[in-house]
Chains A and B, each alone.
Chain A
Amino acid sequence: MLTNLQALLQELSEAVFMLDKDGYIKYSNLAAARLTGYSNRELMNQPIHLLYNDDHSSNSIKLEYELSVALKKGEYVSEGWKRRKNKTFFWTEMKLAPLYEGQNSLIGYSLILRDITEKKKFELELLENEERYRLMVEGVKEYAIFFLNTEGYIVSWNEGAKRIKGYSTNEIIGKHFSIFYTAEDIQSKKPERALRTAIETGKYEEEGWRVRKNGSLFWVSVVITALYNELNKLIGFSKVTRDLSERKEAEEALRQSEERYRLLVEQVIDYGIFMLDEKGRIVSWNEGAKRIKGYTASEIIGKYFSIFYPEEDIISGKPANELKIARETGKYEEEGWRLKKDGSRFWANIVITAVYNNDGILIGYSKVTKDLTERKETERALRESYEKYRLLSDELKLKNVQLSSTNNELEQFTSIVSHDLQEPIRTIKSFLQLIEMKLSNGQYEDLSIFITKSINAATRMRELIQNLLQYSQLNKIEPLKEIINVKELVNDALQNIKASVEASKTQITVESEVETIKGDRVQLVQLVQNLLSNAMKFTEAENPQIRIKCSKENGHVKFAVSDNGIGIAEADLKKVFEIFRRLNTKKDYPGTGIGLAICKKVVDRHHGRIWPESKLGQGTTFYFTLNEETQETLPYNEKV
């Protein structure tokens, strides 16, 4: 059942990642590899911010923030650019959720990525058109540009209109445009005449006096254009007004008030403090803002505050949304990436507060920005050193394991030399002594038996030494990585043991789904040959049969060598690979007990696994794999 779930996860069309507590990828499915262009192996143990949209070294800060939000809220969803291995971008929806084992023990995070680039493209095109138009009209300062409905009531308002006429957007929308005319003009129905002329001739132009909000008069040039829809129905008028009068006095007053305000705020250099108008355009700038963001006041005033946001935030409408929240709740607060003038990022804590005038009308927003990068840098440095030590300790652990395994092998070697190699020498010496005794007593009858036994012991001695050399040789040389044809490999092995195959009349069948494998030809031939010899040796069958199967499993090659021999007792399954170990059998089988130890060593050197499955009396299958990508088990998938 577990393997089914594993397979389901693996094949799921959504890209699924599993992260550890620090955001390192511990598992990714096939869709994840397809989507990102990395192989699952490449993704393994990488921080997930590998996929973030640039190489910024502080990506870990963003990730840390996201993980903490996911942990706090149970889920973290965001839209944004992600980057493939080939550096191309795709727009994603990312869902991050903590994973618990048992009640409260956090073991990591699940992360699902969906590519919604196509959907986003469409939205973007729409947005871009609208945005371009809006920026064009609203950004114009020299002209008041606004729209009237068919009755002459104001339906839109721009920066220029605000400057020239003194009304804020909230105050003026819905008012009749005659509000700008003098009492005399209204009396003479000049506004109505202007609209009528526009309807009749398409356009009305004049220069004349108009009234500001504060009641002062100013000289303007006005163009009113009638607007028609595609059905040629009148839908309203555009009105463009240009202030031609001197306004120095008003400007002076404004500057003075700004001066006071600036002096107050400018003292602060640790915080970027500035005002936005109700549309989000920057209208003031302090020293802290200059220091943090790098813009001078003259460069930045009049720009939309979205200039500080990374592209993906702008595309997803984040700046506007922040203002909306500030408007609705009074305040918006967050931590996130912001851009400096030079395009570099910093991690900011920001607070946007809606600002109202005495009449309770929204006149803009204050924005306070603090650069947390420094603090975060320290945290990151700490984290990095922790990471470094973690890696170091992992490395040490590995080295320790390697050392102790080398140590074990050395110990084994000592015991082999002191015991297994001494034994036949002692036997030979014993028989030679016997022969000597017999000879000195003039007895000749048993001599030839003693001599035969001595020769046998010497032969065994030589066999042991050869095998031992072969075994220790495997340690010395790094195995080659040749491309080997599987059929040729098996044929080479069969050729080497041809005589005993024929003598035992063993039937050998070979099935392979795999064309070629990678490895050391000499060692792998030895491996297959030893398994075949082993299978042929431990049999009592009338018709000994051996089946060699080679298949692909989970991306690596798996061999199976099955026989119909005597099988292995369950208690002995673990001992078969011990060097010089000969396990009990009813009959005495020849051998030094090193063949399978060599097999194990060859497979180890090829980063594979070898194991037997067997039932006493029912044959044995030896399996081995080669070049396994990773020895680590996947989470939730304990090896059975």
Chain B
Amino acid sequence: MKKFKIIIVENDEDEQLFMKEGFDAVGLFDIVAQLKNGDELLEWLEGNKSPLPDVILSDLNMPGRNGYDVIEDIKGNPNYAHIPVIITSTSSTKSTIDKCLALGASDYIVKPDTFVVYEPFVKKLYEVIEKKDLTNAKDFSVATAKKSR
């Protein structure tokens, strides 16, 4: 099975810790970086031109540049627009989900009930990426991103 390079953006340190455990246990992802908000993400991308991640997983509510900002930053930059951004958050409100998708998020996955057990979440994330063929959509993703903006 193909392994995806992923960046996780999440401000809560405990959450980050358990996320990493979950991702490591499932073994389908390489965590390229764990960052605490959109500002750090931009900084990281600037400093690490290659290899870029296959996918970015971002929390929504963070001090500084939040999840909405992350979507806009990535989709608004031609160099990064092809990278799928998947938002994750405690909220399952439809208007929040719709807003993320409208801004250009590839998907929205509600966080697990507690952060203690992350494996099912990670498996679901992998399925979503596979099913939507998000990482292979590279060739035309720039065009789609433009269209969706």
Tell me the A residues contacting B by CB distance below 8 Å: 411, 414-415, 418-420, 422-423, 426-427, 429-430, 433-434, 437, 453, 580, 582-585, 588, 593
Contacts and interface: CB of A to CB of B under 8 A. Distances in A.
B39 interface: yes
Given A426-B113, A427-B12, 19 more contacts: A411-B95, A414-B93, A414-B95, A415-B96, A418-B90, A418-B91, A418-B93, A419-B61, A426-B90, A430-B18, A430-B114, A430-B116, A433-B114, A434-B116, A583-B64, A584-B39, A584-B63, A585-B63, A585-B64
A419 B96 CA distance: 9
A584 B65 CA distance: 7
Contacts of A426: 90, 111, 113-115
B116 A433 contact: yes
Contacts of B60: 419
A298 to B, nearest CB: 84
Given A419-B90, A434-B116, A427 B14 contact: yes
Nearest to B12: A427
Contacts of A580: 61
27 contacts: A414-B93, A414-B95, A415-B91, A415-B96, A418-B93, A418-B96, A419-B90, A419-B91, A422-B91, A423-B90, A426-B113, A426-B114, A427-B12, A427-B14, A429-B113, A429-B114, A430-B14, A430-B18, A453-B14, A580-B61, A583-B63, A583-B64, A584-B37, A584-B39, A584-B64, A584-B65, A585-B63
Interface string B86-99: 00011111011000
A580 B89 CA distance: 16
**B interface SS class:** loop
Nearest to A453: B14
Interface in B90-122: 90-93, 95-96, 111, 113-116
A422 B110 CA distance: 12
B47 to A, nearest CB: 17
A512 B92 CA distance: 50
Contact of A422 (B18, B63, B90, B116): B90
Interface in B45-96: 60-61, 63-65, 89-93, 95-96
Contacts, number: 58
A411 to B, nearest CB: 6
Contacts of A588: 63
Contact of B93 (A415, A430, A433): A415
B115 A430 contact: yes
A453 B39 CA distance: 26
Contacts of B111: 426
A211 to B, nearest CB: 107
Contact of A419 (B37, B39, B93, B116): B93
Sorted from nearest, which 3 A-B pairs have the closest CB atoms?
A: A584-B64, A582-B63, A419-B91
Contacts of B12: 427
Contacts of A582: 63-64
A606 B76 CA distance: 39
Contacts of A429: 113-114
A414 B97 CA distance: 13
A418 B92 contact: yes
Contacts of B65: 584
A407 to B, nearest CB: 11
A415 B95 CA distance: 8
Nearest to A437: B116
A418 B14 CA distance: 21
Contacts of A430: 14, 18, 114-116
A430 B95 CA distance: 26
Contacts of A420: 61
B112 to A, nearest CB: 9
A566 to B, nearest CB: 13
Contacts of B37: 584
A430 B14 CA distance: 10
Nearest to B90: A422
Nearest to A432: B114
A430 B90 CA distance: 13
A585 B64 CA distance: 7
A521 B61 CA distance: 34
Nearest to B96: A415
Contacts of B39: 584
A437 B95 CA distance: 36
Contacts of B114: 426, 429-430, 433
A555 B57 CA distance: 53
Nearest to A423: B90
Given A430-B115, A437-B116, A453-B14, A423 B61 contact: yes
Contacts of A427: 12, 14, 115
A582 B37 CA distance: 11
Contacts of A414: 93, 95
A427 B15 CA distance: 9
Nearest to B11: A588
A427 B37 CA distance: 19
Nearest to B18: A430
A427 B90 CA distance: 10
A332 to B, nearest CB: 70
A308 B14 CA distance: 93
Contacts of A583: 63-64
Q: Which one of A453, A582, A584 has the greatest number of beta carbons of chain B within 10 Å?
A: A584
B39 to A, nearest CB: 5
A558 to B, nearest CB: 31
Contacts of B89: 419
B142 to A, nearest CB: 25
Contacts of B63: 582-585, 588, 593
A542 B116 CA distance: 42
Nearest to A422: B90
B57 to A, nearest CB: 17
